[in-house]
Amino acid sequence: MGGYNGSVEFKIQFTKLFINGEFVDSVSGKTFETRDPRNAEVIASVAEGDKVDVDLAVKAARNAFDNGAWPRMSGYERGRIMMKFADLIEEHAEELATIDTIDGGKLFSLCKAMDIPHCVHLLRYYAGAADKIHGETLKLSGEFQGYTLKEPIGVIGHIIPWNFPTAMFFLKVSPALAVGCTMIVKPAEQTPLSALYYAHLAKLAGIPDGVLNVVTGFGPTAGSAICSHMDVDKVSFTGSTEVGKIVMEAAAKSNLKHVSLELGGKSPLIIFDDADLDKAVNLAHNAVFFNKGEICAAGSRVFVQEGIFDAFVEKSVEMAKSRVIGDPFNPEVQQGPQIDKKQFDKVLKYIEYGKNEGATLLTGGKSYGDKGYFIEPTIFTDVNEHMKIAKDEIFGPVLCLMKFKTIEEAIEKANATRYGLAAGIITNDLNIANRVSRSVRAGTIWINCFFIFDPSCPFGGFKMSGFGKDQGLDAMHKYLHVPVDPDVDADYVEAI
Amino acid sequence: MATESNGVSKLKTPEIKFTKLFINGQFIDSVSGKKFETIDPRTGEVVTQVAEGDKEDIDISVKAAREAFDHGKWPRMSGFDRGRILLKLADLIDQHGEELAMLDSIDAGKLLHITRAFDIPFAASCFRYYAGAADKIHGETLKCTGEFQAYTLKEPVGVVGHIIPWNFPTVLFAAKVAAALAAGCTMVVKPAEQSPLSALYLAHLSKEAGIPDGVINVITGYGPTAGAAIASHMDVDAVSFTGSTEVGKLVMGAAAASNLKTVSLELGGKSPLIIFSDADINMAVQTAWQAVFFNQLPKHSVQGEMCVAGSRVYVQEGIYDEFMKKAIENAKNWVVGDPFDPQVDKEQFDKVLRYIESGKQEGATLLTGGKAIGEKGYYIEPTIFTDVKEDMLIAKDEIFGPVMSIMKFQTIEEAIEKANNTRYGLAAGIVTNDLNIANRVSRSVRAGTIWINCYIITDINIPFGGYKMSGFGKDSGLQGMEKYLKVKSVITPIQNSPWL
């Protein structure tokens, strides 16, 4: 594994719940373990929050919203504090990148080069937007002055997943902070550590007590308590479609809190004959293997036009075979371990389905090494739409290659899914690009690129990939209400 | 209090032309052949029998709407062309206004002069407003940080299910359908079982206007069957529901358990009307009347069946006594009776009377009203309680009837606190001429619409929708189309360009 000696000196500083500005044990005193997926060893014991802890956190957030400074500050002042928060994160980037690598099996070099800078960027973006939240004055049909005001919704519950612990935290927290909401964050039980560190930095930055609370714990207990809470105004969830349904139902049964969901995908990548072959192979490779395949927008169904299909297959297999798997701290490594045993087992199961259902395994297909949760980059071809590997979200390094003839066929196949998160198109033909981008029912269409997550650009799915957008100014809408004030200009006028 | 006759109408009931389901451009019987009766609340008698749609009929109509969306012209037309057809429909509504007004009156007990003067013209204006908006649906180009060209497209969400209530049958049909049509969606409308008739008539007019088959479908029937089938349908992309909070929860739960369709809900309310001491007393009383009894013209009252009813009236102590005097005076001048203003059906009638009883039991003072009128139909006297406490049922629950609760307050802080002390958040009213009070209170009350020195001012330009358990999502205004649109981001690298 190259000239890297494989050891990392690190001390985990924050392992307790963060409620109302203090790190506290859970009411029950219980803790749970978070493991290093490189070797399945325990990294730390973290406080395990449950319903009672969520209740305390919501009370703190409610008080901070109804009576505290944060929502009543000008957007400009909130922006200043958020900028300070961004600066502090930059100062501690090395430590934070290390935490996400150990906790999530993510590549250390990418955490430093992408994840952390991206979240800093998000914070600064929304810091600059906080004082630019505009309602409208309306021209009415009758003699009335009417206008809309955009107001923070209130107390938000953010339930975030383990695949991008830092990015997910800030995708949700930044716009919510900017508009003046208060919140409880429940990070995934697989990756609780960086969220607690961010809570510490938030306090240092000057975010008032109670505005940002972090309750570590499990979905069915802490997560569920947030979704059913009668005093949470909105829940924002990123995770699987299956759990997304549970979140929305709990919201409906309790207090009809607003819901936004960013769920799974089985995103198509459509490669036309006129594509530059090397670029296409590269994009497809990253579309599925990036972050060990643990990404909702993965281009897990790759449709290649028949003219370049054979050449494409050959180059893809070559590239997959040369992919370096190993310790994510090693800068030469391209792929770290899957997040935990459950995911590891699931991916291997899908690989078995693929073989059993008659797809052709071109490369990979097995676990790697004897410690931890590593899986070889895997490519199947001769995949048809009815196979499980073509329909279900695998969330691992498994690429399904399929051939197509015509543009109509590609569009039809691309849309033959209950998901609609993203899609990619590779072509230089303007008409193909315009036509296919308008025809594929997905929330984000990447043309000649993939995984471009620019902070200005709204991201969120269609169909069963969820609803609501992260990123862009749109993301703030999720955390804003729009009340309307019509009033009479002068004397009271009878309406009819 | 004067009472005119009820149940013996001088106006002739019009011939009911459309009583079957409208699917894919045709009026047809339900698959089961079943029918249900729609009742005239003036008399309790049957108006006519209407086809009763159930799950199979919903399935057929969703198929038609899906075909019309995926392969038909409507979403692929330019917004301008859709707009032309919507304008035609508005004209047809105007031309048939009298008949539509009568249908809503007979079916829902609404005052005929109000359906004529407000409901039907407002419905036509909905179609005209959104006709003009259909070709003005803009996405945005974005300035990215990296070298990318990115833009958003706003696309129709697909097949929409509209579940509409009985208190404003034509108005709510128009507000929802017009916005969804302008956006390019196709739809299945399930009108309330108490008021199915105008929806079927409007379906007929829509075909005449040139709306292609399958774009609008109307399934008459019941909530737990037809409505539930829409909320749980795996091929409906969005459901838009106006009705009670209780049923709203079921709709959202069903949407979640099925295919995570997007949901918008406009639900109940217990809206506060806050009257400050500097208010003009006559104006204050008029506004309160309008807020609860929807009294647009003197001497006539309506049934209080509005989600935004200002059913909690807070009067500052400085004008309290004068306010009460005027209120009592006003009560003497009411006329209740034909033409057309009873509660919509027996269930509502019984419910309102039950709440009146509980008000008396819990110790509120009955100032006027409190009883049913006459032996036929569902008429209730406009009722005013005073000495009402925050924890009484009449102060907490939505009654949806002509019952006003008056409470006294001293300070602005007290008024704000009491106004917000509810799980609902639909609307609120403020009566004052003081600029600072108006600004402060309008920013402090957590409700979706704040009326200042007016109440129930509806304007198609104004986005309308609640906070908290009054729901989410807006009807009306340009925002009203957002529920029916999806935002798609398209990103391409910019190559070899010095300019971003």
Instruction: Give the separation between CA B111 and CA B103, rounded to whole angstroms.
Output: 11
Angle between helices A407-415 and A430-439 (to 10 degrees): 30
Confidence at residue A178, expressed as pLDDT on a 0 to 100 scale: 98
Where on the phi/psi map is residue A380: left (φ > 0), alpha (ψ -120 to 50), or beta? beta
**pLDDT score recorded for residue A6:** 56
pLDDT computed for residue B497 by the predictor = 82
Determine phi and psi for A164, rounding to 5 degrees. -140, 70
Query: B489 and A144 in contact by Cβ < 8 A?
Result: no
The pLDDT value recorded for residue B327 is 86
Q: What is the mean pLDDT of chain A?
A: 93
Q: What pLDDT, on the 0 to 100 scale, is given for residue B495?
A: 84
Residue B6: pLDDT band by 50, 70, 90 thresholds? Answer: very low
ipTM of the complex: 0.86
Mutate which: B488, B495, B496, B500, vs A, most A CBs within 10 A: B488
State the average pLDDT over residues B362-381.
86
Structure tokens at B387: 């000495």
Band of pLDDT at residue A202, cut at 50, 70 and 90:
very high
Give residue B131's pLDDT band: very low, low, confident or very high (50, 70, 90): very high
pLDDT category of residue B2 using cuts at 50, 70 and 90: very low
pLDDT digit string, tens, across residues B164-223: 999 899 999 999 999 999 999 999 999 999 999 999 999 999 999 999 999 999 999 999
Residue B275 has φ and ψ, to the nearest 5°, of -110, 115
DSSP state of A291: G
A473-483 burial, b for 16+ CB within 10 Å, e for fewer? Answer: bbbbbbbbbbb
Question: pLDDT tens-digit profile of B143-159?
Answer: 888 899 999 999 999 99
Q: What is the mean pLDDT of residues A487-494?
A: 37
Interface test with A, best of B237, B489, B495, B500 (most A CBs within 10 A): B489
Residue range B347-375: mean pLDDT, rounded: 91
Helix pair A165-179, A116-129: axis angle to 10 deg = 10
Cβ–Cβ gap B469/A256 under 8 Å: yes
Residues of chain A contacting B453 with CB distance shorter than 8 Å: 487-488, 492
Burial class (CB in 10 A: 0-12, 13-18, 19+), A137: exposed
Verify whether the Cβ–Cβ distance B471 to A482 is below 8 Å: no
**Residue whose C-alpha is closest to residue B288's, from B372, B420, B415, B384:** B384
Please tell me the predicted confidence (pLDDT) of residue B372: 87
Comparing C-alpha atoms, which of B199, B198, B212, B214 is closest to residue B162? B199
CB < 8 Å to A128, chain B: none
Residue range A307-311: mean pLDDT, rounded = 97
Dihedral sign, CA of B190, B195, B196, B198? negative
Whether B454 has its CB under 8 Å from any CB of chain A: the answer is yes
pLDDT recorded at residue B402: 86
Reported as a pLDDT band with limits 50, 70 and 90, residue A490 is very low
Mean local confidence (pLDDT), B472-494: 93
Instruction: Establish if B172 touches chain A: CB-CB under 8 angstroms.
Output: no
Q: Does B146 touch chain A (CB under 8 A)?
A: yes
Q: What pLDDT shows up at residue B120?
A: 96
If one counts every other C-beta atom within 10 angstroms of the C-beta of residue A356, the result is: 10
Return the pLDDT at A487: 62
Catalytic residue, chosen from B193, B266, B305, B381, is B266
pLDDT of amino acid B61: 98
Chain B residues 263-302 with CB within 8 Å of chain A: 265, 267, 280, 283, 286-287, 290, 296-297
Q: Which two tokens stand for residue B145?
A: 């940080």
Whether residue A337 has pLDDT greater than 90: yes
Nearest CB to A146 within list B118, B438, B462: B462
Banded model confidence at residue B51, pLDDT cuts 50, 70, 90: very high
Above pLDDT 90, what percent of chain B? 74
pLDDT of residue B12: 67
| pLDDT above 90: residue A7 | no
Looking at the annotation, which residues of A are catalytic? Answer: 262
pLDDT at B7: 47
User: A418-449: per-residue pLDDT in tens?
Assistant: 999 999 999 999 999 999 999 999 999 999 99
User: In the Cβ-directed half-sphere of A355, how many Cα atoms lie within 13 Å?
Assistant: 12
A470 pLDDT exceeds 50?
Answer: yes
Are residues B259 and A418, on separate chains, in Cβ contact within 8 Å? Answer: yes
The band of B93, judged by pLDDT with boundaries at 50, 70 and 90, is very high
Q: Give Cβ neighbours of residue A77 (< 8 Å, ≥ 6 apart).
A: none
Residue B406 has pLDDT above 80, yes or no: yes
Token reading at B448: 């979706």
CA B333 to chain centroid: 29
Per-residue pLDDT for B432 more than 90? Answer: yes
How confident is the model at residue B297, as a pLDDT? 37
The lowest-confidence range among A284-288, B81-85, B344-348, B396-400 is B344-348
> Among partner residues A144, A251, A464, which is closest to B260 by beta-carbon distance?
A464
- Residue A141: what pLDDT? 82
Percent of chain B whose pLDDT exceeds 70 = 94
pLDDT digits (tens, 9 = 90+) for B280-312: 999 999 899 888 877 433 333 445 678 888 889
The answer, yes or no, to whether residue B482 has pLDDT greater than 60, is: yes
Choose between B14 and A111: higher pLDDT. A111
Residue-wise pLDDT tens digits, B442-472: 999 999 999 999 998 888 888 889 999 999 9
Among B251, B447, B489, whose Cβ lies nearest the Cβ of A459?
A: B489
| Residues of chain B neighbouring A261 (CB-CB closer than 8 A) | 260
Amino acid B285: pLDDT: 92
Least confident range from B262-276, B327-341, B469-483: namely: B327-341
Q: Please give the share of chain A, as a percent, with pLDDT higher than 90.
A: 90
Q: Is the pLDDT of residue A289 over 50?
A: yes
Q: Does residue B24 register a pLDDT over 80? A: yes
Over 70: is that where the pLDDT of B335 sits? no
Residue B378: band (very low, low, confident or very high) from pLDDT cuts 50, 70, 90: confident
Tell me which residue in A245, A444, A483 faces B489 most closely, judged by beta carbons: A444
At residue A192, does pLDDT exceed 60? yes
pLDDT at A488: 53
Q: What is the mean pLDDT of residues A235-260?
A: 97
